Structures are given as C-alpha cells and as structure tokens.
Amino acid sequence: MLVSTAYYPTENASKYIQQLCKHFAHKVEAGYADNRGHAALPPGPAEMVADPAGLTVRVSAPDLKGIIQARFAIDSHLVTFAHREGFSGLTWMLETPPANTA
C-alpha cells in the first residue's frame, strides 16, 4: 500500500475537514469528529487531522494511479472550499516509494 501526505497551513483546518467529509459522504462513507476526518475514497482511505496551525491529509492506495486519484479528489475540492485563502493545491509527499518492478 502506498501512502502520501500533505500539510496545508491554515487557521480553517477543522472547517475544511468538515466540508470535505460532508461532501464526500454523499458518495462514500465519511465522517468527522474532534478535529479528525476520514473518507473511504474509491482509490483508498483518506485521513485528515486539524491542528491550530493547519491541516494534515494522508491518503493510501494500492498503486501510484490510486494515489494520484486520491490526491486529486482532495485538492480539487479544497480549491473550492479554500478559495478565499488563494489555495491552489497541496504539496504532496510519497511516504512509501513504488516497488521496483525490474
């Protein structure tokens, strides 16, 4: 399983988690409580945590294509929700490198 994480500095992290989870809940299992959220995105699970300084997002997927799809799902919705802050996308880091298939 591949894992990718990103951090977005914002005072509105908890609000964005609520918005993301409410939106995703229309199509997949999602929920939030106590500055934490989760969504069962089709490529793999997304976990979100708010702290006073920002939002941490962690997505998992079985392959790189799934990671890219999950990242896009988060980024494309945050562009809408965080437009007042000039949000243009998260800087994602891949925690687990793809296996060498050679």
Q: Provide the residue ranges of all domains of the chain, joining segments of one domain with +.
A: 2-84
pTM: 0.89
Mean pLDDT over the full length of the chain: 94
Q: In the chain, what percentage of residues exceed pLDDT 90? A: 87
What is the reported pLDDT for 97? Answer: 64
- What lies within 8 Å, CB to CB, of 73 at 6+ separation is 24, 41, 43, 46
Using alpha carbons, select from 48, 44, 41, 74 the residue that is nearest to residue 62: 44
pLDDT tens string 15-34 = 999 999 999 999 999 999 99
Instruction: Compute how many other C-beta atoms are within 10 angstroms of the C-beta atom of residue 80.
Output: 10
What fold is seen in the domain 2-84?
Answer: TATA-Binding Protein (3.30.310)
What is the reported pLDDT for 102? Answer: 54
pLDDT tens string 48-89 = 999 999 999 999 999 999 999 999 999 999 999 999 998 999
